[in-house]
Amino acid sequence: MSSAKTFRVLPGFRLTLGYTLIYLSLLILIPLAAVFLKTAELSWGEFIAVVTAPQVVATYKLSFGASLLAAAINAVFGLLLAWALVRYSFPGKKLVDALVDLPFALPTAVAGIALTALYAKNGWLGQYLEPLGIKVAFAPLGVLVALVFIGLPFVVRTVQPILEDLDTELEEAAASLGAQRWQTFRYVLLPILLPALLTGFALAFARAVGEYGSVIFIAGNLPFVSEITPLMIITKLEQYDYRGATAIASVMLLFSFVLLLLINGLQAWTAKRTGRDR
């Protein structure tokens, strides 16, 4: 404690910290605690019955499965896109760089109806995909497409700054020691990029699991087929089943907390590996 009580030159510590804690508690912590307290009204058996009901379990499988797959797709293509943006010059590069953030800025409902229009049976892409037997809109594949859209900037924007900061000397050393370009990437660059890539993956995954707006339009929301977990909460709420809704919400919240801690750990690892503060 004594080290924290050293003389402070700057004013406003109590005021700003106090305000921060009160605002945080009133707006975020107390409301989130309400979810767990409401869930506690259920007995353990009832809770388990709600959160392991077959229809709910089907939504976990879709939400977590599609989110993992989407994050993996984004990790691969996001790395390629970040690489292209940092390493190559091409016309329209500034525009591409700026538009990578589109999923952050575009309201999810807009993304949802736009993707549905593209992949529906008579849509721009759907008309070519459906004859091939690939049904995207109103099917689980549609959920995946929406989650890929939502998650892409997370990977690009975590990997890009690390790539920009890389010294060329590492690759020069590898090349002068006779390494092939692919070997340099595999054994020199990838280990450096890995923490950032995993952070981007985890961020995209966390966002995808909770995503609602962009998914519900394209998913079709068929029970046991294309229902996501957040939709399950809404369905229960609309049936005035508040306890059921909060039980599922607390499962999702617990999962988010674990993921958040994991991401913090990954970011600390990235900082250590690359010597950056963020």
Partner 1 sequence: MAGATTLHLAGDHASRFESNAATRETPLVKWTILCIALGFFAIFLLLPLVAVFVEALRKGWETYVMALTDADALSAVRLTLLAAAISVPLNLVFGVAAAWAIAKFEFRGKQFLITLIDLPFSVSPVIAGLVFVLLFGAQGWFGSWLSAHDIRIVFAVPGIVLATVFVTFPFVARELIPLMQAQGREEEEAAVVLGASGWQVFWHVTLPNIKWGLLYGVILTNARAMGEFGAVSVVSGHIRGQTNTLPLHVEILYNEYQFSAAFAVASLLALLALVTLVIKNWVEHQAARSHKESQESAS
Measured from the CB atom, the residue of 126 and 140 that comes closer to partner 1 is: 126
Record the tokens describing residue 254, joined without a space: 């617990």
- Residue 261 sits in the site that holds partner 1 (CB under 8 A): yes
What's the min distance (Å) between Cβ of 225 and partner 1? Answer: 20
Choose among 147, 150, 126: nearest CA to 219. 147
Where does this chain touch partner 1 (CB under 8 A) — which range of 48-56, 106-114, 136-144, 219-227? 106-114
How many angstroms separate the CA atoms of 264 and 253, rounded? 16
128 binding partner 1? (CB under 8 A): no
100 binds partner 1 (CB under 8 A): yes
- The footprint of partner 1 on residues 148-187 (CB under 8 A) is 148-149, 152-154, 157-158, 160-161, 164-165, 168, 171-172, 174-176, 181
With contacts defined by CB under 8 A, how many residues of the chain interact with partner 1? Answer: 111
Which one of 2, 7, 11, 133 is in contact with partner 1 (CB under 8 A)? 11
Q: If binding is defined by CB under 8 A, does position 194 make contact with partner 1?
A: no
Q: Which of 49, 130, 210, 221 binds partner 1 (CB under 8 A)?
A: 210
Cα distance between residue 185 and residue 191, in whole Å: 9
Which CB sits closer to partner 1, 139 or 152? 152
Q: Interface with partner 1 includes 263 (CB under 8 A)?
A: yes
Q: Quick one: residue 240, left, alpha or beta (phi over 0 = left, psi -120 to 50 = alpha)? A: left
Interaction mask 35-74, partner 1, x per CB under 8 A:
x--x------------------------------------
Q: Which of 48, 57, 99, 134 binds partner 1 (CB under 8 A)?
A: 99
Q: Binding of partner 1 at residue 135 (CB under 8 A)?
A: no
Cα distances (Å, whole numbers) of residue 138 to 12, 102, 219, 252, 268: 54, 24, 4, 24, 40
> What's the full length of the chain, in residues?
278
Q: Which stretch binds partner 1 (CB under 8 A): 51-59, 134-142, 219-227, 235-243?
A: 235-243
Of the pair 26, 48, the CB lying nearest partner 1 is at 26
As measured in angstroms, the least distance from the Cβ of 55 to partner 1 is: 17
